[in-house]
Structures are given as C-alpha cells and as structure tokens.
Amino acid sequence: MSISAAEQAHRAASDVESVAWVDEQDRLLGCLPRAELRARGLIGRCTFILLFNSAGELCVHRRALSKALYPGYWDVAAGGMVDAGEDYAQAAARELEEELGIAGVELRAHGRFFHDTPGNRLWGAVYSTVSDAALRLQAEEVLEAVFQPVDQVLASIPGQSFCPDSLQALRLYLDSLS
C-alpha cells in the first residue's frame, strides 16, 4: 500500500512538531518532538473529543492509513497531542477543528486518564460537544466518518479495530454520566 506525497509530508511534519512531555503524574517536564517522545517511551499529553449530534449519536471515524499509530482503525474521538505552549482545552479545540472542521462549540470536560501501552504512553483529557454542523474531514487524518447511537458503537467494538486509547476516553465519559 503506497502513501501519497502529501501524506508522507504530513507524517514527517507531525513527527517533528514539539509536544508536551509529562511524567506519570501529568506534571509538565518540557517539550519534545513527537517522534522522539514515542521512540524513548516517554509520556505525552493528548486530547479526546467526543462529538455528538443533536440526536445523541456519536461521531465515529476511521483513521487515515498514513497514521503512525492505529492506521485504518476506527476512532470514537477526534483529538491529538497537546503542542508546546498549549493547555488541554486549547489543544482540544484546535484538534476538533483540524480533524472534523467543527469550531466555535462549547467543550465540556470529563476528566483525565493515564494510558500506557507500548508505543503509546499518554495522559488524556476527555471532552464532549454537540454540533450538527457539516463535517469537513482532514484527509491526512480521517478517511470517513459516521454518526451512530452509542449503544451501536459499543456493540460493534468486539468485531472492529478501534483505537484503545479513545475507547478508554469513551469509558471515562460514560462513567462521568452516572
């Protein structure tokens, strides 16, 4: 499977951008290029934004095949790494607009969690929002997106490849509602 020149350039740029580096208690230690952070097994900060429509359906999207982590997997949250100089909320708003084209919405915070798997160590902040605006998918990030009832999403998890970190974010969100 070949990757287009644009996707290769995007991957290279995202590997060198400076992201927040934290310890196991989410204390900021500095900033490092994303590729170095992952190569050294260090912890970064990440955002997860659950986008719902007014019917209560969750936006589920499939990640681009050029993604370094979980290429082609289904994802229940927009989001990404917190850049140098950003806080979680700023990164969440930026990522939601970049990936899905949704801007100017209120983001509701649901807490943070620690995710620790080989090649993917992070502190994640979970947000949700509601919007019926048309999606504008960023081709370098997202292949396709659909809105589905949460029960349907949960039922499809065993048979599909989903990003494990975003499933952890979804669990935290659902726990915050009870």
Q: Which residue has the tokens 């292949």?
A: 143
Q: Both tokens of residue 38? A: 């992952």
Q: Cα–chain-centroid distance for residue 91?
A: 10
Tell if the pTM clears 0.85, that is, is over it.
Answer: yes
How many Å apart are CA 169 and CA 48, to the nearest integer? 7
How many Å apart are CA 165 and CA 163, to the nearest integer? 6
Q: Which residue has the tokens 């208690």?
A: 25
How many Å apart are CA 33 and CA 37, to the nearest integer? 6
Q: Which amino acid belongs to residue 37? A: L
Q: Are 42 and 119 a contacting pair, CB within 8 Å?
A: no
**pLDDT reported for residue 1:** 40
Q: How many domains does the chain have?
A: 1
Question: Tens digit of pLDDT for each residue in 97-107?
Answer: 999 999 999 99
* pLDDT of 164 above 80: yes
The residue range of the domain holding 164 is 5-177
**pLDDT reported for residue 16:** 64
| 51 confidence band (pLDDT: 50, 70, 90) | very high
What is the domain-level CATH number for residue 118? 3.90.79.10
Question: Tens digit of pLDDT for each residue in 103-138?
Answer: 999 999 999 999 999 889 999 999 999 999 999 999
Q: Are 138 and 99 a contacting pair, CB within 8 Å?
A: yes
For the chain, give the mean pLDDT.
Answer: 91
* pLDDT of 73 above 60: yes
